[in-house]
Amino acid sequence: MAQTVNDFKRPVLITAEKLSQDRQRGVIVATGNVRITQGDRTVRADRLIYDERNGQVTAFGNVSIIEPRGEVVFGRRVKLSGDLRDGTIEHFRMLFPDNTRIAATDARRYAGRRTEMAKVVFSPCKLCEEDPTKPNLWRIKARKVIHDGEAQNIEYHDAWMEVYGIPVFYTPILSHPDPTVYSRSGFIVPEIGARKPLGTWIKLPYYWRIGEDSDATLTPLISSQQNPVLFAEYRRRYKKGAAIIAGSHTYARRLDTDVRPILQGQSRGHLFSKIRYDVDSNWRFGANANWTTDDTFLRLYDVSSADSLQSSVWLEGFHNRDYTQLRIHHFQGLREGDNYRATPLVAPYAELERIGSPEQRLGRWHFRFSTANLTRWEGTDSYRASVNLGWRLPYIHKPTGITFAATLDVHADGYYLAESRRPDASQFTGFSNRVYPIAELDIRYPFVRELGNVRAIVEPRISLI
């Protein structure tokens, strides 16, 4: 049965297996699979009493309240206002959409958004299926908790954090976003440490939620023996691509003059970035930029232990079985003896690969062309072009299972070298090339035996090249 009444300018719909109404007292009693709905909030219960004159709803037995944002509140006995926004809940339980749980002895709700709970337990961990009474991996217990549904925030008073039921941390007040929040600006848990030559240090990261598709993290590092450093990382997602830019900056303060080089008063820092964009289903391009001011900065602040940094710009194309790429590479050496004037710039590296469709009796052909140009301020410049043309024909002798594979390949490489130093210390500038064909016949005879759940394969193989 169903009945509709008007309350607070919005209709209230009550459905149940049995409905009775006392018109003189203005009371509706519903029993059996009761459901009362007003707007986007729904209450379910075994039995419900609706007092129209006082604007009060009392629900008993297996009470659940479905909130507009997806949270579900459970209670043993619930008293609510006529608009289902305010009231008290005994034996309070709340389940968030991500299965995070809050439990309390009782709770009171104000204005449909603020819920105050007493003697509370909060945990995102699932209960043990074999023994639900076992403590969670971690949970927070508090004397009082306030959940602000509009601000989507949970605030604890006199809170203990427990790990496997053992208290490990106390705080008089604690606050964090509720589980319905995907991300929010705010400080992240700091990091503290001590090591040479920074001394004692602390990181205070701050997360900045710029928008739905972008965010950033700002992390100042303060140490006892060096000047403060500011680390920053910006992330953005596009409809067809993404960008990540990270960097840092500080002014050097070197106290130990025995360490070389002495960088006191100089700017130090780094820049790492990745950008990718998908033009369409066949083409995409991107860039990776990696740079630092000096050889030791990245290791000093534990950013990277790499002995060189590579930056590149690239374009890739995919068409069925064909592949095309064009790349430019730049390297920054971070070892003591590296000389940037002798470090090559690869501009460009190009590759074109084509693979034919397989034919049953004719096999499959493939073609590959690549070129690489390496230039330096000092030292040898080299230019290379390579061509590979090949064909492969597999064949299986069905009566015996013997497999044959015939392959023909022709490789050709051409080089131009400028100021190349020979073993006798003389220099060579000019062209060089090589051409070599390869013919191969591969014969295999696999023997297979099933041994229960194990398959044993023995395969004698002969290759003639």
Measured CA to CA in angstroms, residue 457 lies from 174, 226, 450, 451 at distances of 62, 63, 9, 11
pLDDT tens profile 356-407: 988 878 899 999 999 999 999 988 899 999 999 999 999 998 888 899 999 9
Q: For residue 8, what pLDDT is reported?
A: 46
DSSP string, 23-59: TTTTEEEEEEEEEEEETTEEEEEEEEEEETTTTEEEE
Element (H, E) at 391: strand 381-397
Q: Are 113 and 150 a contacting pair, CB within 8 Å? A: yes
Neighbours of 265 (CB within 10 A): 10
Q: Which residue has the higher pLDDT, 354 or 110?
A: 354
pLDDT > 90 in the chain, percent? 49
pLDDT tens profile 421-444: 777 777 888 999 999 999 999 999
pLDDT tens profile 275-315: 999 999 999 999 999 999 988 899 999 999 999 999 999 99
Structure tokens that stand for 461 in this block: 């193989």
Structure tokens that stand for 156 in this block: 């604890």
Least confident of 117-126, 175-184, 268-277: 175-184
- Per-residue confidence at 165, pLDDT binned at 50, 70, 90? confident
Burial of 167 (C-beta count, 10 Å sphere; 0-12/13-18/19+) = exposed
